[in-house]
Amino acid sequence: MLKIGELAALASVSRDTLRFYEKHGLITPGERNDAGYRLYSETDVHRISFIMGAKEVGFTLNEIHQLLELEVTKDEKSCHDIKQFVDAKISIVNQRLAEIKRIKKSLQTLSSACCGGDEPATHCTILEALSEQTN
Amino acid sequence: MLKIGELAALASVSRDTLRFYEKHGLITPGERNDAGYRLYSETDVHRISFIMGAKEVGFTLNEIHQLLELEVTKDEKSCHDIKQFVDAKISIVNQRLAEIKRIKKSLQTLSSACCGGDEPATHCTILEALSEQTN
DNA sequence: ATAAACCCTGGAGTACAGTCTAAGGTCAAT
DNA sequence: ATTGACCTTAGACTGTACTCCAGGGTTTAT
Ligand SMILES: [Zn+2]
Ligand SMILES: [Zn+2]
Ligand SMILES: [Zn+2]
Ligand SMILES: [Zn+2]
């Protein structure tokens, strides 16, 4: 059984983060010692590990919440269900990707149209372009 | 001179947004009528137009604040300054792009390793992979 | 015995970009 | 005269993911 600081060190997160995750239902350490300190089991360690892994691949805490439910009830779920969840996330990520690519392209168009010279910017095509109506 | 609702309709934003931008120093309508209503000039319309254009290409309100200062003092600035600002933003965007691409790749790796079948997910490689230590 | 290091709680604060509400004042039309 | 559409303010709320603080209690080492 680990105390919060020990688990925090193990998982490279702050104690506050662990308490935050608990408050939001991501972990549920059942036991407390006589002083009221949280005690974390092997299962809790595994759960944190899962959470960190999911964060690493870009899931939000909300999504991780749903993933944890899949994980806990995995004998009632199928690979199909899990894969579908991941694929749904991929399509969200693809949307963000497309938006950022669009932005990058716009910025590059702006940048390359500007002479970049040392004369006053009163003629700057960037400033002009920005104030042009897009609708 | 336009009232706030008229400018809002023109710019396709809410009145609240215009007041929000004002509170954060992005616009500064000088005049008010006898009833205390904001009155917007041509210059203000141009400014909003600039802000919307900058938002469109992904600048944050904070960055737009800086851009507006460049715009207002453009006779003292050079194209070099403006271009540099845009290029700095491009490199921020590139970082976000790289991160999202990394996430997409990870998710695709996860997805393609899963059989996606209808059997119980107790053997699912996705769930396994997520709880693996990355550090 | 006492200091340092740890634990607890509730609540506030951060950045971002608004949105919404309450409680009022004004203006145009019916 | 009264309805409805518009305007004003200050301040609270949204979601995301924490981080920090105050004001306590506990454990460990010297
Ligand atoms: Zn130039
Ligand atoms: Zn230029
Ligand atoms: Zn499978
Ligand atoms: Zn699977």
Q: Quote the tokens at residue A84.
A: 């579908």
Q: Taking CA atoms, what residue in A is nearest to B54?
A: A130
| pTM of the entire predicted model | 0.90
pLDDT tens sequence across B68-102? 999 999 999 999 999 999 999 999 999 999 999 99
- Residue A12 CA, chain-centre distance (Å), reads 16
> Ligand 4 center to residue B6 CA distance, Å?
55
> Ligand 3 center to residue B113 CA distance, Å?
9
Amino acid, single-letter form, for residue B58: G
Give nearest nucleotide to B5 (CA–C1'). Answer: D6
pLDDT tens sequence across B51-69? 999 999 999 999 999 999 9
Band (A30; pLDDT cuts 50, 70, 90): confident
B12-B6-B51-B31 Cα dihedral, nearest 10 degrees = -160
User: Domains in chain A, start-ordered, CATH in brackets?
Assistant: 4-76 (1.10.1660.10)
**For B82, which of A94, A121, A133 is closest by C-beta distance?**
A121
pLDDT tens sequence across A39-56? 999 999 999 999 999 999
Q: How far is A35 from chain B (nearest CA, A)?
A: 31
Asked if pLDDT for residue B135 goes beyond 60, the answer is: no
Q: Which residues of A touch B54 (CB under 8 A)?
A: 130
Q: What distance in Å separates the CA atoms of residue A94 and residue A86, rounded to the nearest whole number? A: 12
pLDDT tens sequence across B17-58? 999 999 999 999 889 999 999 999 999 999 999 999 999 999
Q: What is the pLDDT of residue A110?
A: 97
Q: How far is A88 from chain B (nearest CA, A)?
A: 10
